[in-house]
Structure 1
Amino acid sequence: MTRDLVGYGGKWPDVTWPNGARLAVSVVVNVEEGAEQQVIDGDATSERMGEVISVVPEGRPDPGQAQIFAYGTRAGAWRMADALRRHDIRATLFACGRAAERSAPVLRMLADDGHEVACHGWLWRPHADYDTPEAEGVDLDRAADAIATTVGRRPVGFFCRGAESPWTRALLSERGYLYTSNGFDDDLPYRDGPLLVVPYALDSNDMKFFHPNGFVRARDMTDYVSDALDVLEAEAARGQARMLNIGFHLRIVGRPGRFGAFDGVLADLAARRERIWIATREDIARAWIAAT
C-alpha cells in the first residue's frame, strides 16, 4: 500500500451538492449489537470495550458486556428512530451482518423509515485480521445476504471496524460495491480505482464517550459538532466543497444521559438545513460521481 499524503493538494474539485449547497453532512448510525464477539455466542473471546473495560477473564462468558450491547437494540434504537423522524433526517446505517440477522425487526424498522443500510462486515471486527481473501469474501457475502434478507436490498457501501485488509477493496469491487468508508484522511470523497472512498470521521463520533480523552457530557459532543459545522460552513461560503461525517451508536447515545447529544446534533442540522445538504452516504457517493 502506498500512502498518499497530498490528496487534492489544496485544489479541491468544484462541486456543488444537489440542493445547491457546498457542504454535505452524513449522519451514520452504527448497528453492531449482536455482532460483537461474545463467548456466549460461540466466539473465542468477548468484546472488552463497553461502558467499562471488561474484567472477565479471556475466554470466559461475559453476560454483563453482552447486556450492555443489547441495550442498543432493546431500547436505544427506538429512542433514536423517533428523533430521526422528528427532525426529518435520513441516515446511513452501518449494519453488521450478524446484527442484521439477530435483530432483524430493529434494522427493518430503521430501513422502513428510509435510511440507507450499508455493510459493516459480518462481525464487529477489523478486516485487517483476515488471513486470506477467500475467508474475507465468505464473510462479506454472508453479511450482504443477511442485510438483503432483512431489508430487501443488498448494500452498496461498506465500512469495517479498524482497518481493511490488503484485499478488501478488490473484493468489494468484484461484488459491485459503490463506495467504501474506511478512509479518515480527507473532507471530500476520492477515487481508489473503481471504488469511491467516502471518508469517515472518528472525532465527530460518539465513541469518544467511551474514551478518557473524549466526550463526557452530552453538550460536549453537540458543541464539538457545532464548531465543526461552523468551520466547514465558512469554507463552503468561500466556494469550497466540503463534507462532514457524524457517527453514532445505538448503545451509546441511545442511553438517556447521552441522548441529548444525538437529539441536539439533529436539531442543529435541521436548523441549518437551508444551507447544507443532509444526505445518505449512497446519495453523497452518487452525487460526487455525477459531478466529477
Structure 2
Amino acid sequence: MTRDLIGYGGEWPDLRWPNGARLAVSVVVNLEEGAEQQVGDGDPQSERMGEVMSVVPPGVRDMGQEQIFAYGTRAGLWRMLEALDRHAIPATFLMCGRAVQRAPALAGAVAAAGHEAAVHGWLWRPHADYTSREAEAADLARCAETIGAATGQRPEGFFCRGAESRWTRGLLEEQGFTYTSNAFDDDLPYRDPAHPGLVVVPYALDTNDMKFFHPNGFVRAGEMVEYVSDALDVLLAEAERGRPRLLNIGYHLRIAGRPGRFRAFEGVLEQLAALRDRLWLARRAEIARAFAVAVLPGG
C-alpha cells in the first residue's frame, strides 16, 4: 500500500450532510469485553492494559483483569445506554465477535435502542497480526454472522484494534461491507483508490476515552469534556467557512462507564444535544452512505 500524504490537498468537496450541516459527529462505543485475550478463556496470554498494568505472570490466569473488563458489560453498558437514550444521541457500537457470542442479549439491547452494530474483529486484537488471508476472512465472516444473529443487523462497518492487515480492505469489499474506519489521517471520509467499493470513514484516538489509560492522557473526566469541546469549536468554525468535517468521539464500556469517568461521556452528550441544530449526529453507516452519494459518484 502506497502512503497518501496529500489527501484532499486543501481542496475539500462542497459537501453538506443530509440535514444541511457541514459538520457530522459520530459517537462510538466499543463493546470488547469478553473478547480481550485471557488465559482463562484459553488464549495464550492475558491482556496487560487495564486500570493498572497487570502484574500477573504471563501464562497465568488473571482473574482481576477479567473482572475489570466484565465491569463494562455488567454495569457500564446500562449506564451509557440510558444516557444515549436520555439525550437522543445515535451511536455506533464496535462489537467484537466473541464478546457478542458470549452475551448476545447485550448486543440485542444495543440494537433495540436504535444504535448501529459494526464489526470490531472476532477478538480485541490487531488484524495486522493475521498471517493468512484465509484465517482473517473466516474471522470477519463469523464475526458479522454472530453480530447479525444477535442484533438483526448485518454489519456494514469495520474497525479493529491497532491496524488492518494487507488483506483486510479487499476482504471487506468481498464480504459486502460499506466502510472501514481503520484510518486516522483525515477529518473527512474518503475513497481508497485500491478499494473503490469501500468508504474510508476515519476514526480518532485523541477524542477517545482510551486516553484515560495512557500516561499522556486524561485524568479527570472534565478534561475529556473540555478537549472534545475544543475540537467542536475548531471544526464548527471551519464548517461555517464552508469546509465539511467529521468529528469522531470514542468510548469504552469499562472506561467511561465507571462512575468517576462517566461525566466524560454524559458531559459530551450534553454538548452535542445543545449543538444539535448545527451538527449532523449520525451512525457511521449513515455517514458512509451519505458521503458516497454526495461525493463518490463524481470522483
TM-score range, shorter chain: over 0.9
Deviations 1:165-189 (A, max 9, x none): 0000000000000000000000000
Matched residue, 2:11:
11
Q: Given residue 151 of structure 1, which amino acid in structure 2 is its aligned partner?
A: T
Matched residue, 1:232:
235
Distance in 2 between the 1:78 and 1:106 partners?
A: 9
Corresponding residue SS for 2:34? coil
Deviations 1:138-170 (A, max 9, x none): 111111111011011220100000000000000
Corresponding residue SS for 1:257? coil
Say whether residues 1:166 and 2:166 are aligned partners. Answer: yes
Deviations 1:64-101 (A, max 9, x none): 00000000000000000000000000100000001111
Distance in 2 between the 1:41 and 1:264 partners?
A: 36
Q: Given residue 198 of structure 1, which amino acid in structure 2 is its aligned partner?
A: V
Partner residue of 2:211 out of 199, 204, 208: 208
Matched residue, 2:90:
90
Say whether residues 1:27 and 2:30 are aligned partners. Answer: no
| Alpha-carbon distance, 1:194 to partner | 1.4
Moved over 6 A (4+): none
Matched residue, 1:62:
62
Matched residue, 2:177:
177
What's the TM-score, normalizing by structure 2?
A: 0.97
Q: Given residue 210 of structure 2, which amino acid in structure 1 is its aligned partner?
A: M
Q: Given residue 52 of structure 2, which amino acid in structure 1 is its aligned partner?
A: V
Q: Given residue 59 of structure 2, which amino acid in structure 1 is its aligned partner?
A: G
Deviations 1:179-220 (A, max 9, x none): 000000000000012111000000000000000110000000
Distance in 1 between the 2:178 and 2:165 partners?
A: 18
| Alpha-carbon distance, 1:103 to partner | 1.8
Distance in 2 between the 1:107 and 1:90 partners?
A: 15
Q: Given residue 45 of structure 2, which amino acid in structure 1 is its aligned partner?
A: T
Matched residue, 1:288:
291
Q: Which moved more, 1:227-236 or 1:142-151?
A: 142-151
Distance in 1 between the 2:82 and 2:152 partners?
A: 22
Q: Given residue 59 of structure 1, which amino acid in structure 2 is its aligned partner?
A: G
Q: What are the within-5 Å matches in structure 2 for residues 36-75 of structure 1?
A: 36-75=36-75
Q: What are the within-5 Å matches in structure 2 for residues 240-251 of structure 1?
A: 240-251=243-254
Q: CA RMSD in A?
A: 0.5
Distance in 1 between the 2:198 and 2:137 partners?
A: 17
Deviations 1:100-124 (A, max 9, x none): 1112121111110100000001000
Partner residue of 2:263 out of 260, 265, 269: 260
Stretches of structure 1 that go unaligned for 5 or more consecutive residues are none
Q: Given residue 205 of structure 2, which amino acid in structure 1 is its aligned partner?
A: L
Q: Given residue 128 of structure 1, which amino acid in structure 2 is its aligned partner?
A: A
Distance in 2 between the 1:48 and 1:230 partners?
A: 36
Q: Which moved more, 1:164-173 or 1:138-147?
A: 138-147
Corresponding residue SS for 1:26? strand
Distance in 2 between the 1:182 and 1:258 partners?
A: 26
Q: Given residue 104 of structure 1, which amino acid in structure 2 is its aligned partner?
A: P
Distance in 1 between the 2:153 and 2:250 partners?
A: 23
Corresponding residue SS for 1:93? strand
What's the TM-score, normalizing by structure 1?
A: 0.99
Matched residue, 2:153:
153
Stretches of structure 2 that go unaligned for 5 or more consecutive residues are none
Corresponding residue SS for 2:165? coil
Distance in 1 between the 2:103 and 2:30 partners?
A: 13
Partner residue of 2:277 out of 274, 277, 281: 274
Matched residue, 2:120:
120
Distance in 1 between the 2:129 and 2:232 partners?
A: 35
Distance in 2 between the 1:133 and 1:124 partners?
A: 18
**Percentage of matched positions with identical amino acids:** 70
Corresponding residue SS for 1:78? helix
